[in-house]
């Protein structure tokens, strides 16, 4: 019995050590955290800027979703394996009716 508990605890420690994405706190993070930045840029176009981040990763700024005078501006943090670890809207328009924001609709997170 103790051996099983020890193995379970050890397994949990290994699995938790593998987590590299932040906990999703919004629909954009729920949709994109842990996904390839290549898939994001292939679907929505290249970033408008980038900079190096700690640990060999990068931070990209992307703008798109131009519609009716609206655009979406997001910042993606990417690890050195080119996986999205965090995404946040820098410029977004909320739906006055309480629905998904413009960025959520644009980036398939609604």
Q: Is residue 70 a part of any domain in this protein?
A: yes
- The number of domains in the chain is 1
- The pLDDT value recorded for residue 102 is 94
Q: Is residue 6 a part of any domain in this protein?
A: no
pLDDT tens, residue order, the chain (110 aa): 555 544 444 444 443 344 455 677 889 999 999 999 999 999 999 999 999 998 999 999 999 999 888 899 999 999 999 999 999 999 999 989 999 999 999 999 86
Q: Is residue 67 a part of any domain in this protein?
A: yes
Q: Is residue 89 a part of any domain in this protein?
A: yes
Q: Is residue 5 a part of any domain in this protein?
A: no
Q: Is residue 9 a part of any domain in this protein?
A: no
Over its C-alpha atoms, the chain yields an Rg (Å, rounded) of 17
- The pLDDT value recorded for residue 50 is 97
Q: Is residue 4 a part of any domain in this protein?
A: no
Look up the domain containing 99 and give its range: 21-106
Residue at token pair 């938790």: 16
Q: What CATH number is attached to the domain comprising 77? A: 3.30.1450.10
Handedness of CA 96, 30, 43, 88 (dihedral sign): positive
């Amino acid at each position: 019995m103790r051996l099983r508990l020890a193995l379970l605890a050890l397994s949990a420690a290994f699995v938790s050590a593998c987590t590299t994405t932040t906990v999703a706190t919004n629909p954009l993070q729920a949709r994109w955290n842990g996904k390839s930045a290549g898939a994001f840029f292939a679907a929505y176009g290249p970033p408008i800027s980038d900079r190096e981040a700690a640990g060999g990763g990068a931070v990209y700024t992307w703008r798109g979703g131009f519609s009716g005078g609206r655009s979406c501006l997001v910042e993606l943090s990417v690890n050195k394996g080119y996986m999205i670890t965090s995404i946040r809207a820098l410029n977004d328009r909320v739906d006055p009716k309480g629905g998904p924001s413009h960025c959520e609709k644009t980036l398939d997170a609604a």
